[in-house]
Chain A
Amino acid sequence: AQSVAQPEDQVNVAEGNPLTVKCTYSVSGNPYLFWYVQYPNRGLQFLLKYITGDNLVKGSYGFEAEFNKSQTSFHLKKPSALVSDSALYFCAVRPLDYAGGTSYGKLTFGQGTILTVHP
């Protein structure tokens, strides 16, 4: 079974500083990894995904994520944090179901990390 861990419930950074939100995963075979952000009283907003290829993935709003297969990690990063980046961040994985060839639909999410950027 696949799983995702976000080891930090909360991350605090000062505006203008770089930020990192950590994610590790466990899945059989090739992982397909996603980051979503959730603002209060809103749904999830897609940031970026890793499918294959370059280990550094660039996404929306200046975010990027680095896929590290040996460490089974997919950490979200941003060079310079903004106060408006404060939100709840989710890492998610969707594996291949070898029996069926494709894993339909189901995203397995981490527990989420609250990012707070201080002015």
Chain B
Amino acid sequence: KAGVTQTPRYLIKTRGQQVTLSCSPISGHRSVSWYQQTPGQGLQFLFEYFSETQRNKGNFPGRFSGRQFSNSRSEMNVSTLELGDSALYLCASSPRLAGAQETQYFGPGTRLLVL
């Protein structure tokens, strides 16, 4: 079974621009979560989607948003990019709504560089 795929793998943007990242979960998985990884802050939870609804959200500004489609694929969008948004953005999927016991499987990430 194919793993979680993320596109694009690398992205360079300039401050003020916006960006959209895409994630395709493992086939049959219905929950998608997004995380940001930076050297300074480590891994931080952005949000989780299930059945096209955001179920949980981390402590990020409103510039960060996401959505999920009926086929469980998800996109996240960052508007008005700032230098500090440079990070590796990881998508994770799980079969069901990620309750406490669910294992999340991660994609390879999208590395975003903001200049």
Residues of chain A having any CB pair with chain B under 8 Å: 30, 32, 34, 36, 41-46, 49, 51, 90, 92, 94-96, 102-112
Q: Which residue of A lies closest to B101 (CB)?
A: A51
Most B CB contacts (10 A, CB to CB) among A44, A45, A107, A112 go to A44
CB-CB under 8 A from B98, the residues of chain A are: 94, 104-105
**Size bracket, chain B contacts:** 20 to 34
Q: Which 10 A-B pairs have the closest CB atoms?
A: A105-B48, A109-B43, A43-B106, A44-B106, A104-B56, A105-B98, A102-B99, A106-B45, A43-B108, A32-B100
Q: A43-B107, A44-B90, A44-B106 are in contact. Are A107 and B45 (CB under 8 A)?
A: yes
* Nearest CB on A from B38, distance (A): 11
Which DSSP category, helix, strand, loop or mixed, fits chain B's interface? strand
Asked whether, in the complex, the Cβ of A96 is within 8 Å of the Cβ of B103, the reply is no
- Inter-chain residue pair count (beta carbon < 8 A): 74
CB-CB under 8 A from B107, the residues of chain A are: 43
Residues of chain B having any CB pair with chain A under 8 Å: 4, 6, 31, 33, 35, 42-43, 45, 47-48, 50, 55-56, 58, 90, 92, 97-101, 103-109
CB-CB under 8 A from B99, the residues of chain A are: 102-104
Q: Which residue of A lies closest to B104 (CB)?
A: A107
Given contacts A46-B105, A104-B56, A106-B33, 13 further A-B contacts (CB under 8 A): A42-B109, A43-B90, A43-B107, A44-B43, A44-B90, A49-B101, A51-B100, A102-B100, A104-B48, A104-B97, A105-B104, A107-B43, A109-B43
Q: Which residue of A lies closest to B55 (CB)?
A: A104
